[in-house]
Amino acid sequence: MKQLMVLFLVLLAAMLWFIRPAKSQVSQPTLEKATLEEINQLWKESAHALNGVNCSSCHQNRKTKALITKPTHDSCQSCHPQAVDTFLLGKHGIRLLEDLPPLTIALAHLPMQVSAQNKLMNCNACHNVHSVNTYQAAVNSCLTCHQDAHSLNYKYSPHAQLFQAEGILPRPSSKSVTCATCHLPRHKFERPDGTTWVGVNHNNTFTLKPRDRMVKDVCMNCHGLEFSYNSIFDDELVKANFNKPPTQDLETLKMIRVLEKKRSNNS
């Protein structure tokens, strides 16, 4: 009887050995060597590498040390709180703020590229996750998705000519005007200690409505008040992405000039 029991246990152990999960089924996901080398090269030339941000900074949970295969905006927020906080307030990120799945391009109301329909709107929709090159996010990332007339006409605008003249730089020059210059403008933010710094407002809706907010926060950094208002309230000129100077003269501006003339004559 004892021998039968031993034989049974040996057979049971053998069966369990052969039906165990294959090693590949339980191991962590791996990448091809060539892919890893490409990722490593992108990272080595990035701002992350220069600032000591390595793989585990994004791919490891800080509390549990567990592997994060696909970091979300939560990982980005640990270092870029202002960027993520403002991103969540815009159309691109508002669903994440409400604990909903990310916005997909297929849900957009504007004309979009067919090839981008399944793209998820999170940080890496605009930023390459390993090179974190802001040059790409300035124009190219926008045109990967947007196919409306205003977006497509950017390349014919004086703004685009300024951008192209600067060439490929680690980040856009202050002398050029990109999609991000107007739709993700730089703002002054305050630190808890009262000091201030300038950063990008990632709320892509902020300068869209009302239109005159774009004038105050963006246009008048380069243009005069009348030129800016006559441009931003010309629907056809907006559609053409400001490919020429404005031709309209808003009635409000005419009234202001008349009143100003009367005031000058009476003084």
Does residue 129 register a pLDDT over 50?
yes
Per-residue pLDDT, 133: 82
Q: What percent of the chain has pLDDT over 90?
A: 67
Residue 32 banded pLDDT, cuts 50, 70, 90: confident
Residues 112-134 have a mean pLDDT of: 92
Q: Is the pLDDT of residue 111 over 50?
A: yes
| The pLDDT of residue 26 | 37
pLDDT at 16 over 50: no
Q: Can you tell me the distance from the alpha carbon of 228 to that of 218, in angstroms, rounded to the nearest whole number? A: 9
Give the Cα-Cα-Cα angle 121, 52, 48 (nearest 5 degrees). Answer: 30
* pLDDT score of 190 more than 50: yes
- pLDDT reported for residue 29: 55
Higher pLDDT: 229 or 7? It is 229
Q: d(Cα 143, Cα 113) in Å, to the nearest integer?
A: 8
Residues 172/138, Cβ–Cβ less than 8 Å: yes
The mean per-residue pLDDT over the stretch 145-158 comes to: 97
Percent above pLDDT 70 for the chain: 87
Confidence bin at 172 (pLDDT 50/70/90): low
List the domain boundaries for the chain.
215-266
Residues 218-236: pLDDT tens digits?
Answer: 999 999 999 999 999 999 9
At 54, the amino acid letter reads N
Residue 250 has pLDDT above 90, yes or no: yes
Alpha carbon 265 to chain centroid, angstroms: 52
End-to-end alpha-carbon separation of the chain, Å? Answer: 121
pLDDT-derived band of residue 22, with 50, 70 and 90 as boundaries?
very low
pLDDT tens digits, residue range 59-102? 999 889 999 999 999 999 999 999 999 999 999 999 999 999 99
Q: What is the pLDDT of residue 84?
A: 97
How many Å is the maximal CA-CA distance in the chain? 122
Phi-psi sector, 174: left (phi>0), alpha (psi -120 to 50), beta: alpha
- Supply the pLDDT for residue 25: 42
